[in-house]
Amino acid sequence: MGEPGTKELISLDELEAAGNLRTGRKHILSILVENKPGVLTRVAGLFARRAFNIDTLAVGPTDDETISRITLTLDGAVHPIDQVTKQLHKLVNVLKIRDLEPDETLARELALFKLAVDGAQRTEVLQLCEIFGGRVVDVAKRSLVVELTGSDDKIEAFETLVRPFGLIEMARTGEIAIARGRSET
């Protein structure tokens, strides 16, 4: 329709609207920002101001000391992701945003689980640890602490399994992510 260089007009019926759509899946945004005071506040404040809900947020340095990476996840069923990224782009300190494709992304999160287990149950928990690739990093008389790295699905699965043993507390970092292959995230 309406090929460039021709005078062929465009039928309005053929036009389709784009944007503002809910994708219905989790999105991981990798945001490179200038490493300056207050930048995280600007990003977090934008989310509050626009009523976007952050699921997880992780911030840390990159290979370049003037640049930090913010990795945040949010629900594409609730938010129009393109509106979120466009608003983020308007922040002067934001250098680059990438909405990571799930299939081409390595996403990892670190979690610590403090479990109320003693002698009898310990073996069972240790078996689960082995299956999930977790490590016991602290053992006391009536508790132990497991360190686990993985995707959020894996961490949630582990949580479901160990909860019946008595989950005293849990700490999670939120996911960080990087693109697979040679290309930069």
Instruction: Determine if 20 is a binding residue for another protein (CB under 8 A).
Output: yes
- Residue 167's identity, in one-letter code, is L
- Residue 168's identity, in one-letter code, is I
Q: Please, which residue, 21 or 131, has the CB nearer to another protein? A: 21
Q: Which of 34, 64, 118, 169 binds another protein (CB under 8 A)?
A: 34
Q: Which of 119, 137, 129 is nearest to 162 (CA)?
A: 129
Q: Which of 72, 94, 111, 115 binds another protein (CB under 8 A)?
A: 94
Instruction: Determine if 24 is a binding residue for another protein (CB under 8 A).
Output: no
Q: Which of 10, 51, 120, 140 binds another protein (CB under 8 A)?
A: 10
d(CA 15, CA 1): 10
Indicate the length of the chain as a whole number: 185
CB-CB contact of 170 with 113 (8 Å): yes
Instruction: Determine if 161 is a binding residue for another protein (CB under 8 A).
Output: no
Minimal distance, residue 182 CB to another protein, in Å: 23
Residues 6+ apart with CB under 8 A from 94: 31, 32, 33, 43, 88
For 91, phi and psi rounded to 5 degrees? -70, 125
Instruction: Determine if 40 is a binding residue for another protein (CB under 8 A).
Output: no
Which range touches another protein (CB under 8 A), out of 40-48, 51-59, 121-129, 158-166? 40-48
Minimal distance, residue 2 CB to another protein, in Å: 4
CB-CB contact of 96 with 67 (8 Å): no
Q: Which of 23, 26, 40, 42 binds another protein (CB under 8 A)?
A: 42
Please report, as residue ranges, which positions from 98 to 137 form the binding site for another protein (by CB under 8 A). Answer: none
Q: Which of 161, 126, 23, 39 is nearest to 82 (CA)?
A: 23
* Six token digits for residue 92: 């002067």
Which residues bind to another protein, rule: CB under 8 A?
2, 4, 7-12, 15-20, 33-34, 37-38, 41-42, 45-46, 48-49, 82-83, 86-87, 89-95
